[in-house]
Structure 1
Amino acid sequence: MIEAAMIWNEPNNKSHWDPEIDPDWSKFGEMAKLAARAIAGVNPDVKRVLGGMSPIDPSFVQRLGGYGVLDEIDVVALHGFPLDWNLWNINEWPAKVDEIAAVVPDHELWVSEVGVGSFGAEEVQEFGVKRTAELLIGKVPQVFWYSLFDLPQEWGATTRHREAEGSSYYRHFYMGLIKADGMPKLGLKAFEPYAAGMGLMQWFHYHDPRLDDAVAWMKRLGVTKLRTGLSWADSFRPDAIGWFDRQMEALADFDTTVTFCFTPEHLGIAPHHTSPPKDPQQFADFCAQMIERYAPASATAARVAAE
C-alpha cells in the first residue's frame, strides 16, 4: 500500500540535483509544486513528502517556503549520516530535528533516510543502529533505516563524481545490514528489536534480482514501513511498466513511501539524472501516472471501507 509519495531525493545535495543549473532551487521549487498538485489531484489521501534534505538545512526549507512549496506538501523529510558523511555527532540528531521543526511548525517531520555503514567495522554499524533508534524512535513519526542490502560494488553508486569523491564514494557500498553476498552483519541483529518502529529504505534497481529476498527478509524481521523509489529515468527503459508492476506487487504488504526522482537524460536541461527537467510538468505527469496506477483514490476508499 502506498501511503506517501516523496518528491525527489536530497534536492539540496549536489550529487542529486545540479546546483550549477539551479543554484537557488527555484527550478526545483516549481517542479515540486507541480508534482505535489498532480499527486493530490489523483489521490489527496496520499501524503506528499518533500524530498529528504541532505544536509539538514533550515535555510533551504525557508527558501522553498518562500517559493510556496510548503503550501503543497504534508511532510518535510530529513536525511542524516553522522558517522559516514555528515560533519556532526550522532547525538545531535534531536537537535537537528528541532532546527527544522522551528521553521515548519505546522508540518510533520520524518527522517526518511538514516544510516551508518560498516566501511570501517561492523561494530560501528551495530552501535549506530542502536543509538539511532534510541534517539529518533518517538522523536518523529517515521524513521527509515538505509538500507537492508549493501550495494554491489560492480553496480556503481548513483552520485555525480564517483571515485573522485574518495572514501565518501566507497562508503555507499557498505550501508546495508546484509552484505552483497547475502551474509548478515552484526547490524542486522541490532536492528531486529526496532523493526516495528523503524522502517527500511531500500532502492531497487531496474529488474533488481534482490527484490524477492528483500521482501522475505523484511517480513522475517517484522518490518511494516518501507521507503523505495520509482525512477522517472527508468520509466523510459524497455518494459519499464512491467518492472514497476512487479516491484509494487511484491511490496503490496508494506506501508510504502514511494520516491519519484531522477531525470531522463533526454528530458533534462543537461543530459544527466541530476538535472532539472526542461519541462517540469513532465515530471508532475509522471508522478500522477504512477499514483493513478498504484494508489488510485478508488483503492484508498475501498481500503477505508473495509477497515
Structure 2
Amino acid sequence: MTLTILFAPGDALWNNYRAPLIDALDAAGLNAVLTREADPETVDYIVYAPGSALTDFSPFTRCCAVLNLWAGVERIVGNPTLHQPLCRMVDPALTQGMVEYVTGHVLRYHLGLDDHITRQDGVWRPEAPPLASQRQVAMLGLGALGQTCARALAGLGFAVDGWARTARTVPGVTCHAGPEGLQNVLSRAEIVVTLLPRTPGTENLLDADRLSLLPRGARLINPGRGHLIDDDALLAVLDSGQVAHATLDVFRMEPLPAEHPFWAHPRVTVTPHIAAETRPHSAAQVIVDNIVRGQAGQPFVHRVDPATGY
C-alpha cells in the first residue's frame, strides 16, 4: 500500500521540508508519496502549519492524523471541521533552542549583564551577584518545554518554582498548581519565565492584578505566547518600576508593528520570535515517527486534547 501524505503549508516550508521528509520516510521503509496536491479522499496524513490555505478538513475522510509542524496549535485546534487526531510538534532541537534561550536570559538578568554593558562610566563597583541558589525563578508552564527549561535552571542551582493549572512533579523543582499556587509563585519570583500555551484559560494570565504581586524589580521573560500578558498592564508596571525589565520573544501581532511602544521602551528587550525554531531535519523525523506509529496501530505521540487546547 502506498501512503499519500499531503504537505499543506506554503512554498517556503515545502522547499525546506521536502527533502528531509522524503529522507525520513525512506529511512523508515515507508512506501509513501509526499505531495502538495491530492484528492482529499486519497490522503492518509496531512502535514500542517499555521497559515496554511487548508481550512476545511471534512473532505479528508481517510486521513489518519493531522501533524503540525509547530508546537503551537491554537490556530487549528478549534476548527469545527477537524475530526482527525491532531498532533503538535515536540522537536528535540526546538526544545534545545528554548533551553538555550531561557537559560541565557535568566543568567543575563541574574548576573546583571545589562548594567555592566551599559554602565561603562569609569566607576569601579565590586558588587558580585548572589549565587543562583539565592535567586528565585518562576517557570509558568510545565509542559515538555517548561519542564526541560525548569530542570536546566535547577541544574544550574537556581531556586525554581514551577506552576501549572494541574499538579505536576518535576525533579529539582518546587511545583504549584491552581490560582492560589500561581499567587504564591508570583509573590516571590525575582525572574519569571512564561512557557504556557495560548488557551482561553491563559489569555491575559499576567494581568494588572497578577503583575502587581511580583516583588518590586522583578524581571520577566516571555518566549511562550504573546497573549499570555496584558500589554497595557505590562507597560504600566514597567513604567512604575514594579517590573525592572521584560524580554519578549512573542507578541499578539507578528511581526511586531514598528510603532508598538515595546520597541522604544528602555526596559524592554524585543527578540523576533527566535527562542525556539523548528528544524526541518529533526522535525521531519518527529513527523515520520508518528506516521510509523499510526501505521502500526499504536497511539500517536504529542496528540492534542481538544478540550484543553494542547
TM-score (norm 1): 0.29
TM-score (norm 2): 0.29
The structure with more helix, counted as a fraction of residues? 1
Rg comparison, structure with higher value: 2
